[in-house]
Structure 1
Amino acid sequence: MSARAQAAAAPAVAEAPGRTHATEKARIAVLGASGYTGEEVVRLLALHPVFDVTALTGETQAGKAFSDVFPHLVTATNVPRLVKIADVDWSGVDAAFCCLPHATTQEILASLPRKVRVVDLSADFRLRNVDTYAEWYGGTHRAPELQKEAVYGITELHREEVRSARLVANPGCYPTSVQLPLVPLLQAGMISTEDIIIDAKSGVSGAGRSAKQNLLYTEIAEGINCYGVGSHRHMPEIEQGLSEAAGADVRVSFTPHLMPMSRGMQSTIYVRLDGGASVDDLRSVLQGRYAEEPFVHVMNAGGVPHTRYVRGTNYNFISVFPDRLPGRAIIISVIDNLVKGASGQAIQNLNVMLGVPETTGLLQQALFP
């Protein structure tokens, strides 16, 4: 284990803003706890030694015990009943995970006490330009002043900004799987900003827990389908991060697909080499960039990442291959869409925000077979 990973895994709890003692537990609210990302936050926090869940919300499930909504967690959690957001006592909350649907969180988060630090898992604060948000999400942003203070939070790429943030915009799952491998390569000038092609595939949980005809078992089983072709809402988020890394405008070709599996995500990315770089150079840059990162593993030459390698975990596996076409490379990146792509990264971010060792509560290994 690297020096950084050993330090991150250390059991000691650092002093954190808003807490009076290094061993004092942080009181956590989970808004939208009846959805998949909210459930995943609570599942992961069941073994977190520092974060204590003191409020859970679910507008349509208010009054129910959490184990009535998610029976599989009856023995793993000791959490309060679900309530409506309006009934949360914010005097007993230090930080919140907001797991509400897009376009529902802006006014809610703007109304919270300033002392509450927030990780928002929706898309509402990911796009820095509110006009871009309106274009892709079909409505005017209702908290533009709060947007100005939001920090975009792929932890490995924005750790120092996250550390001092009050509001972190937790990235989307596809953008996480794409930016972790591409940002260091663009920063190093080793791949072209043009002709980036992303073929991405996700488990069905990425579509949320709402009842939808296209997500019924008979609709999704025994087949795959693409969606949001040429217009998926994660496209501007991906391009925002890649453009900042390159220092120039980056446009990508991105097509997501829905796979008949509960969770998991693979992004297969086709890039053009630049600056005289070789495939081995790309791998070397990524291995050097992430050598001290506990959750990102860059495989050796020939290693093929599988989604099952990261199932239920906060890890990202990356590999680089030569393309058959001269001057091109193929990059494969896999994550669990609900963990590193959502709830796990959210906890990783809040660990950083509250001065807790970054890997706390997140060292689960993959479920296999």
Structure 2
Amino acid sequence: MNNAIINNMEITTVNESKINSVDFESIAFGREFTDHMFSCDFKDGKWQTPKITPYQPLTLDPSARVFHYGQAVFEGMKAFKDDMDDVWLFRPEDNFNRINISAKRLAIPEFPKEYFLNGLSALIDLERDWIKKGEGNALYIRPFVIATEPAISASPANEFKFMIICSPVKSYYKGKVSVVFAQDYSRSANGGVGFAKAAGNYAAQFYPTSLVQKEGYQQIIWTDANTHEYLEEAGTMNIFFRVNDTLLTAPTSDRILDGITRKSIIQLAKDNNVAVEVRPVSVKEIKEAAKNGSLKEIFGSGTAAAVSPISDFKHGEETFKLEEQEDSYATFFKKKLTDIQYNRTEDKHAWRVKVEK
């Protein structure tokens, strides 16, 4: 092990990387992890000295509050390598801001910006060999925070652990995605935690999603909990609908995640004179558009999924297939987005942040 203190951060590196044991060509999403991890504990009312250490298991008391009351939030980010071997992050401050918004909603202390950005940069610099060049290749980055205080009384914890781990990845979905419009189950409700990246939001989706997967579908597009009449977002993606040449997407709210890829696509649409409407989108409207031929595309957006075209959808007993579009908006926006992320084009919104060596 090699030890150092850099920018008030304790860094311990591995003697030998495990990278040569990884088959990058057949890697499964989120199954392999890099050599190091970042961690920082909250104790005695403040965040302690951040650390980067070799990737290793955690030891937690069985009474750690995260196991009993679900105080856990996370983020999803990616780092990309360009043709010159430089490494880039995409809108990292947005992820920092959002994890603190999520944390606040779950009574978790906000994490210091300097710790987050410095720790993230130092960790990614250590792991830059894990980031492979080429379209679709990236390093998926998972910041998260959990309640570690050993106590099972039903109250907020006083001790937490903030961590960042990394996983080399390829595409999340291969090919197009089939979806079901929700009618019975709900993802979130007014006044709840739908806008936060809370761990429990995803756990609650697994059962209804497993039901539609048995029918051959991959995801649910969730509808509003009150009426199930308005389309909101999918399990791992925000959703866009192309009706004629206009993009439609639901507005963010306390039920819908403020997706960073979603925001980027909305801005790219404006940059390229594509009409975009951020407004409630009804199931009835989309079904009618599918029947009269004006619904051209549906696609999802998210850090893991990037831009994922949807091939067909089901609502009740009705199914609808979407035809291939020669001027596909999904293809267009995916290229615009990835050209920025991989440093292939101008970044006029300063979304790209270089990881310095």
Give your verdict on TM over 0.5.
no
Relative to the length of structure 2, the TM-score reads: 0.25
- Whichever structure has more helix as a proportion of its residues is 1
The structure whose Rg is larger is 2
- Whichever structure has more strand as a proportion of its residues is 2
